[in-house]
């Protein structure tokens, strides 16, 4: 039995379109690259987890700072510091160097990415100060970036 060429081509196109579709890592935001999106999400969860621990809203399984100092991304941060003499310590670029690199050269990012970076910086400032608007900024950023709780790489519970 011969299969018509058009049927084979149709099946190939269906498989190709299914395989090339959006993945969990892909940015759901037009104008934000997958890499920048992933790093924004990492920063969101790092800062929200740390602040929520400070506020007593989250009780980590491990004591102290082990939830991040022993995280696999810390090795990347240490390596980044070793390659950049101007950076003092790994926590300055943990969980990734996105914030540092953005502040060094904001024009290397798209306008959309810059807008989300500014929102992230506002959120980080509120987290650092445990400001009154922290909770509102946390929820707004989560909604704006379409972040899902399953994307949290800092599983401290």
Across the range 26-53, mean pLDDT stands at: 95
- The parent domain of residue 108 ranges over 25-151
Banded model confidence at residue 66, pLDDT cuts 50, 70, 90: confident
pTM summary value: 0.81
Task: Give how far Cα 89 sits from Cα of 53, 72, 86, 97, 124, Å.
Answer: 22, 16, 10, 12, 18
| Any domain includes 10 | no
Residue that wins the pLDDT comparison between 3 and 11: 3
Task: Give how far Cα 118 sits from Cα of 24, 112, 153, Å.
Answer: 24, 10, 22
| Any domain includes 133 | yes
Q: How many domains does the chain have?
A: 1
Mean of pLDDT over the chain: 85
| Any domain includes 19 | no
| Any domain includes 87 | yes
């Amino acid at each position: 039995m011969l299969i018509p060429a058009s049927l084979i081509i149709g099946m190939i196109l269906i498989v190709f379109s299914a395989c090339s579709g959006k993945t969990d890592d892909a940015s759901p935001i037009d104008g934000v690259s997958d890499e920048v999106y992933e790093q924004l999400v990492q920063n969101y969860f790092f800062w929200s987890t740390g602040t929520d621990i400070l506020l007593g809203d989250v009780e980590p399984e491990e004591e102290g700072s082990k939830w991040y100092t022993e995280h696999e991304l810390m090795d990347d941060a240490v390596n980044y510091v070793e390659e950049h003499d101007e950076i003092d310590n790994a926590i300055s670029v943990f969980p990734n160097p996105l914030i540092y690199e953005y502040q060094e050269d904001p024009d290397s990012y798209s306008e959309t990415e810059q807008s989300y970076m500014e929102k992230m910086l506002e959120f980080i400032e509120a987290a650092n100060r445990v400001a009154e608007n922290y909770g509102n900024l946390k929820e707004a950023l989560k909604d704006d970036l379409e972040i899902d709780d399953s994307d949290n790489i800092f599983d401290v519970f």
